Structure 1
Amino acid sequence: MNVAGEWIGLGKVVALTGAGISTDSGIPDFRGPNGVWTRDPEAMKLSSIEHYVADPEVRRRAWQERLTHPAWGAVPNAAHRALADLDRAGLLDAVITQNIDGLHQRAGLDPARVIELHGTIHETECLQCGARGPMDDTLARVRSGEPDPTCLGCGGMLKSATISFGQQMNMTTLTAAAEASMYCRTFLAIGTSLTVHPAAGLVSVASKQGARIVILNDAETPYDHLADELIREPIGEVLPALVESATAART
């Protein structure tokens, strides 16, 4: 851990964060022993663009799930705050997140440094005209009795502004993530199973360019063989300690 802290202290750090960084905030992961999809395999359909577009019942269930999504009551935890501290210390280039909860920004991280690979649950997007708007406004319509609200502009199908399975990713966002990974000095993979691509492939991008790879995750990943250091300790404990060590070395 001390070695990883030294690497972080050199600056030009990029972090890739997955669901594991937000579990301490009360947001369950998807694939873990108590994950959303582990407990309810049918819930995977809610994250499939094919099922979402084809089945009105899937959309209705998705809107009901959004009403009670744990992100609405979640607050940033120690790991989110640690990355914000790293940013304030001038050591962080970017946080590339697979999460849609917005907790990095709420922790005080500069929004310009957050690359949301899978979008955000805080906005809606029309699949027909591309118009975006506040999720709160659409959820108010659901509460008022619209089980499957449509775009107020064109009447098209609405969904959260997140990337579902089978849905094309935003190439500008993906390019920004790849460039950040290519030019970093240390790459932290935090709380991610590294099984979803193209996000997982960013580890290889960073490694091929000579970056130190540090993986903080409670289970094995397909990219562990590229890691210069593997850490299995609780993220909410180890990440703040690493950041504290790195920033203290600069003072």
Structure 2
Amino acid sequence: MQKIVLLTGAGISAESGLGTFRAEGGLWAQHRIEDVATPEGFARDPKLVVEFYNARRAQAAAAEPNAGHHALARLEADFDGEVVLVTQNVDDLHEKAGMKRVMHMHGALTGALCGACDHRWPANMVMRPGDGCPKCAAPAARPDIVWFGEMPYDMEEIYEHLAQADLFASIGTSGNVYPAAGFVAEARRHGARTIEFNLEPSAVGSDFDDIRIGSASQTLPAWVAEVLGG
């Protein structure tokens, strides 16, 4: 086995205290997705959206990676072949755990994006509506987050990795959000073995060769030990 492609979703971050879209309580339960996670919501009320992501940024900054994150970092460091991690999460817990190669297909809380010229830069911990772009000076700064209705980042490169994968592993994803929900079918089409780690089978669970049920902090360390041979 030469190449492993990993996909992580909200489930792995939830174990570090970062709530999922569907969790009761927490930030997401207080707002409609249409109001805080769409370009239209930002156009209507930029102050609400910026303050929402300020709160998420502060929450993520205080969070620590769990045993699942550390297991994947061990896999990347010790596997003889190539490990590519694609995440739907916008936190930096994988990086905090020591992973070097992380593709944030939905953007990152640590980044800011200019709505006028597409320049990106590290976000301040507290962003404000109308913040200026350091490149073009337009008052068009926004969180560098892929909102509903926008195209996820790096899709061409991600599909290239899926086509080359010997093993595709999906961790803590619902299987409800495309295009990520279609990654398992794409990997299978090119001959990859597929495995899912989740609290329960996802909406695309039938597409996996193997499903490991349980928390990522328990199942991933054991699986990584299997892959690495101890």
Q: Output the TM-score relative to the length of structure 2.
A: 0.90
Q: Does 1:151 align with 2:133?
A: yes
Which residue of 34, 39, 52 corresponds with 1:65? Answer: 52
1:132 corresponds to which letter in structure 2? R
Cα shift at 1:187: 0.6
Which digits, 9 at most, give the CA deviation of each residue in 1:162-221, with x for residues without a partner? 101112333xx1111111111111110100011111111111110111111111112332
By percentage of residues, which structure has more helix? 1
Percent of aligned pairs with the same residue?
30
Aligned length, in residue pairs: 226
Gaps of 5+ in 2: none
Answering whether residue 73 of structure 2 is matched by residue 84 of structure 1, we say yes
Specify the code of the residue in structure 2 equivalent to 1:115. M
Q: Residues 112-155 of structure 1, C-alpha deviation per residue, up to 9 Å, x if partnerless? A: x2111111110100111112222126x2xx5xxx5543435332
Which residue number in structure 1 is paired with residue 15 of structure 2?
24
Report the CA distance between 1:246 and its aligned residue: 2.0
Q: How does 1:162-177 map to 2 (within 5 A)?
A: 162-170=145-153, 173-177=154-158
Q: CA deviation at 1:33?
A: 5.1
Counterpart residue identity of residue 7, structure 2: L
Which residue pairs with 2:195 in the alignment?
214
Output the CA distance in 2 between the equivalents of 1:124 and 1:99: 16
User: Could you tell which deviates more after superposition, 59-68 or 197-206?
Assistant: 59-68
Report if aligned partners of 1:50, 1:166 keep a CA contact under 8 Å in 2: no
What SS does structure 2 have at the residue aligned with 1:22?
A: helix
Preserved contact between residue 172 and residue 199 of structure 2 (Cα < 8 Å): yes
Is the alpha carbon distance of 1:11 and 1:34 closer, same or farther for their aligned partners in structure 2, counting shifts above 3 Å?
farther
Secondary structure of 2:227's aligned partner: helix
TM-score, length of structure 1 as denominator length: 0.83
SS in structure 2 of the partner of residue 136 of structure 1? coil
Cα distance in structure 2, aligned partners of 1:230 and 1:50: 38
Per-residue displacement from partner, 1:32-73 (whole Å, max 9, x unpaired)?
Answer: 455754x235244211112212x1x3x211222233221111
Residue 228 of structure 1 deviates from its aligned partner by 0.7
Query: Partner of 2:107 in structure 1?
Result: 119
Partner of 2:93: 103
Distance in 1, Cα, partners of 2:110 & 2:141:
13
**Partners of 1:194 and 1:188 in 2: CA distance:** 13
**Counterpart residue number, 2:181:** 200
Contact 1:18 1:190 survives alignment (8 Å): yes
**C-alpha separation between the residues in 1 aligned to 2:108 and 2:193?**
29
CA RMSD of aligned residues (A): 2.0
Instruction: Return 149-158 or 189-198, whichever deviates more.
Output: 149-158
SS class of match (2:181): coil
Distance in 2 (CA, whole Å) between partners of 1:52 and 1:24 is 29
Between 1:234-243 and 1:91-100, the stretch displaced more is 91-100
* One-letter amino acid of the structure 2 residue matched with residue 240 of structure 1: P
Q: For residues 26 and 93 of structure 1, what CA distance do their matches in structure 2 show?
A: 26
Are 1:93 and 2:74 an aligned pair? no
CA distance in 1, matches of 2:38, 2:174: 19
Task: Report the Cα distance in structure 1 between the residues aligned to 2:23 and 2:211, rounded to whole angstroms.
Answer: 19
Residues 185 and 224 of structure 1, relative CA distance in 2, 3 Å threshold? same
**Mapped partners of 1:188, 1:35: distance in 2:** 28
Equivalent residues of 1:36, 1:43 under 8 A apart: no
